[in-house]
Chains A and B, each alone.
Chain A
Amino acid sequence: MNDRERSARRLLRWYPRSWRATHEEEFLSLLEDSMTDRRFGPYGYLNVATSGVRLRSKDFRHSRHRLFYSSSLAIVALVLIVGIATNGFGLFSPSGPTKGGMPYEANKIVPYDKIPDYLSVVVGPGKIGYTPKAYLAVPDGSSNAPLLGRAAPVYASNLTTLLGHEYGGIGFVPIGESPWTQPCRTEMVYGETTSGTVSSTPIPCQSVTLVLPDVEGMVTPTAVGELSGLGVNVVIQNVHSSSIPPGHIVSTSPSGGSTVHARQAVIVSISVPGS
């Protein structure tokens, strides 16, 4: 079989089987003849392919399976539309955590009483107050460059994922990788103080153990600064408390005095107003 014959046969595959059954030989000979022509060219290939496809679609419109396929297609389309419209697939979410499609906003100040039912995470030893603004090291190792303002609210539903992260609240794991398999690197956490100076702290690997200080009753920024400065992952959980004033630490888990591993997640419950 020569080259021309081969490509003619290949082109013929665009046509439906039923058509080929009756036209195969004559059409092949026409194709082979036509291919000797300078005029055939890319246009000829395209022309044959589109004609074949057109015939297939005509066959399809008359086929018994039409109802089945077209209704399946309609369902798939519907699912896609609903998924995209409601952002159910999370396609348009930033790489960090979101809730209901709401992305976090860099440098946005969130007062405690406005923080909804998600966990808010503040990273860095700096005195960062109520502003979820921090410098994070990216766990993929690509860069230790500070990413300004990427500290984000992390939602309760993300907790399991979160606990596997190298730093609590850093919701950045390369897509497709499990946070549990991230190798440990001694990385830097950057923090910015209110005066604008940037400090950095090396975060030790899990093999390092440390004793958790007791931060109960402390004001949140101080407590978070102290804990994250030690190298534990700080996860902040909002709770209502009648005894602890808003903005102060109600409890930690594990509690103060426990021995923890560096980078272990420590859930810090802070008091927020309301019942």
Chain B
Amino acid sequence: MSGELSSLGRYSGPATLILASLAEGPQHGYSLTKDIEKFAGIYLAPGTLYAALDRLVELGLIEGLEPVGRRRPYKLTAFGASTLKAHLEAQRTVIETGLRRLTGAWATS
């Protein structure tokens, strides 16, 4: 297992959002949707959310806990935390490079 989020293909976007949301503590599906909507402004519909959750569980990045009532909370694993960190840092390099280069010829003001 490489721990590369990019191996998630179409789910890498939702996966990053879910991992980032779970970094604060375990959550069940609906509260994940709400939280992600709040911090990222992105709505993950239930189908997409569960497809990503399934993949993340399969990869060992998160795990399901005992259900509370009907709802099952999910929590980040240690492996998931380190993978998310590596992924976000790689992203940060891209973001910082892009922003820095934009201040050159493309500066707007």
Instruction: Tell me whether B51 and A29 are in contact (CB under 8 A).
Output: no
B37, B47, B50, B69: the one contacting A50 at CB < 8 Å is: B47
Q: Contacts A25-B67, A25-B70, A39-B43: A30 and B28 contacting too (C-beta < 8 A)? A: yes
Distance, CA A216 to CA B49, complexed state (A): 85
Q: Please, could you name 20 A-B residue pairs with CB atoms under 8 Å apart, sorted by A?
A: A23-B50, A25-B67, A25-B72, A26-B29, A26-B72, A27-B46, A30-B49, A30-B50, A30-B71, A33-B29, A33-B30, A39-B43, A44-B46, A44-B47, A48-B46, A48-B47, A49-B47, A50-B47, A52-B47, A54-B51
Number of chain A residues whose Cβ lies closer than 8 Å to a Cβ of chain B: 22
Q: Which of A33, A44, A55 contacts B45 (CB 8 A)?
A: A44
Q: Are B47 and A47 in contact (CB under 8 A)?
A: yes
Contact A29 B48, CB 8 Å, known A34-B30, A39-B43: no
> Contact at A47–B48, with CB atoms within 8 Å?
yes
B residues near A49, Cβ cutoff 8 Å: 47
B46 A31 Cβ-Cβ under 8 A: yes
Interface string of B34-63 (1 = CB under 8 A from A): 000100000101111111000000000000
**A68 on interface, CB distance cutoff 8 Å:** no
Query: Restricting to A26-71, which residues have a CB under 8 Å from any CB of B?
Result: 26-31, 33-34, 39-40, 43-44, 47-52, 54-55
Query: Which A residues form the contact surface with B (CB < 8 A)?
Result: 23, 25-31, 33-34, 39-40, 43-44, 47-52, 54-55
Closest CB-CB distance, B89 to chain A, in whole Å?
A: 30
From the candidates B37, B45, B70, name the one contacting A26 in the complex (CB within 8 A).
Answer: B70
Residues of A contacting B47 with CB < 8 Å? 44, 47-52
What is the bound-complex CA distance between A54 and B10, given in angstroms? 13
Question: In the complex, which residues of chain B have a beta carbon less than 8 angstroms from the beta carbon of A43?
Answer: 45
Give the residues in chain A near B21, CB-CB below 8 Å. none
Return the chain A residue nearest B30 by Cβ: A33
Q: Known A-B contacts: A30-B29, A40-B46. Give 6 more (CB < 8 A).
A: A25-B72, A26-B67, A34-B46, A40-B45, A51-B51, A52-B47
- Expressed in whole angstroms, the Cα–Cα distance for A120 and B48 within the complex equals 65
Q: Which residue of B lies closest to A25 (CB)?
A: B70
Assuming the A-B contacts A43-B45, A44-B45, A48-B45, are A29 and B50 also in contact, with contact meaning beta carbons closer than 8 angstroms in the complex? no
Q: Report how far A274 CA is from B23 CA in the complex, Å.
A: 92
Interface residue? B33 (CB, 8 A)? yes
Q: Which A residues are in CB contact (< 8 Å) with B50?
A: 23, 27, 30, 51
Q: Are A29 and B71 in contact, with the CB atoms below 8 A?
A: yes
CA A25 to CA B45, docked complex, whole Å: 17
Q: Which residues of A contact B72 (CB under 8 A)?
A: 25-26
A34-B30, A34-B33, A51-B50 known; A29 and B45 CB under 8 Å? no
Which residue of A is nearest B70, CB measured? A29
From A47, A54, A55, give the contact of B46 (CB < 8 A). Answer: A47
Question: B55 → chain A, closest Cβ, in Å?
Answer: 11
Bound Cα distance from A31 to B71, whole angstroms:
11
Q: In the bound complex, how far is the Cα of B105 from the Cα of A211, in angstroms?
A: 102
A28 surroundings in chain B (CB, below 8 A):
70
B7-23 interface (Cβ within 8 A of A): none
